[in-house]
Amino acid sequence: MKIPLFLHLLGVVIWVGGMFFAYMVLRPTAAQLLEPPLRLKLWHGVFSRFFPWVFLSVGLILASGLYMIMQMGGFMAVRLYIHLMFALGLVMMLIFIYVFFSTFKKLNYHITREEWSSAGIVLGQIRLLIGINLILGMVTITVAVLGGST
Ligand code: HEM
């Protein structure tokens, strides 16, 4: 199961690592240096490039994770930490899908019309949801690694 685990972890690194960089590094720097119009356009460009990678990561994580569960004998045979990882992963994926199909679309709408204050409110919502997903990602990694070692 080396290759499925490798693909699983590759997806995790791209998704959680990307959220960490966006939230902890780019966000405070952009807030410090850029006025709202430029800052909002920057985030629009960043999300447009990052979200396709997240879709790819979600596909990799889900496919490799389910494949490994089948190799382990199916859902009834695996330990609690894997059920927890699956549940947390699904919540993260639902949050991402909501961000992509709802909030990100609203951000595009307001930026196209140069409605900076509305776009700023939507960006705040995306920031909150990505912050929640970042925490969930850290918790999931903890559950996956520590749960498997006990
Ligand atoms: C949503 C569907 C997911 C499924 C079905 C799934 C399933 C699995 C399975 C079966 C393993 C192998 C466990 C073992 O060999 O003991 C695994 C490993 C792992 N998963 Fe997931 N996973 C999912 C999502 C996630 C997410 C969202 C993360 C992190 C954000 C994550 C992080 C990890 C890590 C770090 C490992 C390696 C654990 C180790 O080898 O110590 N998984 N996953």
Average pLDDT, integer, range 71-76: 96
Inter-CA distances, 65 with 62, 69, 82, Å? 5, 6, 9
Domain ranges (residues) in the chain: 2-149
Give per-residue pLDDT as tens, 117-139. 999 999 999 999 999 999 999 99
Atom of ligand 1 lying closest to residue 92 CA? 27
Atom of ligand 1 lying closest to residue 68 CA? 10
Name residues whose C-beta falls within 8 Å of residue 140's C-beta, 6 or more positions apart in sequence: 85, 88, 89, 92
**Ligand 1 centre and the CA of 112: distance in Å?**
39
- Mean pLDDT of the residues in the chain: 97
Q: Is 84 in the pocket of ligand 1 (CB under 6 A)?
A: no
Atom of ligand 1 lying closest to residue 90 CA? 1
